[in-house]
């Protein structure tokens, strides 16, 4: 399984449009070669370099239909998104996407797509740990896409 974005290449900088310095909208994602037994997908966007224990989770989305192979740009920040799935709370306590906004330096942003053999029995607004617990034993395959970002203000100091 492979995860890509039309917004940025693996290992490259995430464009400002998708960050707190820009429009702060979610980038488009596309995936292919999911296992045949997939019943749903989940996606987590996490910053392991954030200056807090365990990093910072920017986006949690789950119960995406197995027939899906993409997320369009600018997913609405609501718990249940028609024809998409359910969104959880990021580590700021808000539902939906929160763009990269590192306090200093260049951070990595790891998008992980999970192909699952079930749908998760969770309500909208679940946190990453709840989703991870619900996925345990149901992950068929994963794919990752890593982008980087450094704040404009931080780079001109």
Q: What is the CATH number of the domain that holds 90?
A: 3.90.280.10
Residue ranges for the chain with pLDDT beneath 50: 155-157
Using CA atoms, how far apart are residues 37 and 150, in angstroms rounded to an integer?
Answer: 39
> What pLDDT score does 95 carry?
98
Structure tokens at 6: 């039309």
How far from 95 is each of 75, 92, 155, CA to CA, in Å? 11, 9, 29
Domain that holds residue 24: 2-155
Closest to 63 (Cα-Cα) out of 38, 45, 46: 38
Looking at the 3D structure of the chain, how many domains does it have? 1
CB 91 within 8 A of CB 57: yes
pTM, rounded to two decimals: 0.94
List the beta strands (DSSP E) in 25-152: 29-32, 40-47, 56-65, 70-71, 80-81, 85-87, 106-116, 139-150
Question: Is residue 3 within a helix (H) or strand (E), and if so which, with residue range?
Answer: strand 2-4
Half-sphere exposure of 84 (CA within 13 A, CB side): 23
Coil/strand/helix, residue 135: helix
> What pLDDT score does 155 carry?
47
CB 54 within 8 A of CB 68: no
Using CA atoms, how far apart are residues 61 and 127, in angstroms rounded to an integer?
Answer: 10
> What pLDDT score does 152 carry?
77
Q: Residue 31 — φ and ψ, nearest 5°?
A: -140, 160
């Amino acid at each position: 399984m492979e995860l890509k974005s039309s917004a940025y290449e693996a290992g490259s900088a995430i464009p400002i449009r998708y960050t707190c310095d820009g429009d702060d909208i979610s980038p488009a994602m596309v995936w292919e070669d999911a296992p045949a037994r997939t019943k749903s997908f989940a996606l987590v966007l996490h910053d392991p370099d954030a200056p807090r224990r365990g990093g910072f989770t920017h986006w949690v989305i789950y119960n995406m239909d197995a027939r899906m192979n993409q997320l369009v740009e600018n997913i609405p920040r609501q718990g249940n998104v028609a024809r998409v799935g359910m969104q959880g709370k990021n580590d700021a306590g808000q539902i939906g996407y929160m763009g990269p906004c590192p306090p200093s330096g260049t951070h990595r942003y790891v998008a992980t797509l999970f192909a699952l053999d079930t749908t998760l029995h969770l309500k909208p607004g679940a946190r990453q740990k709840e989703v991870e617990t619900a996925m345990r034993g149901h992950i068929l395959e994963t794919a990752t896409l890593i982008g980087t970002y450094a704040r404009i203000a931080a780079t001109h100091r």
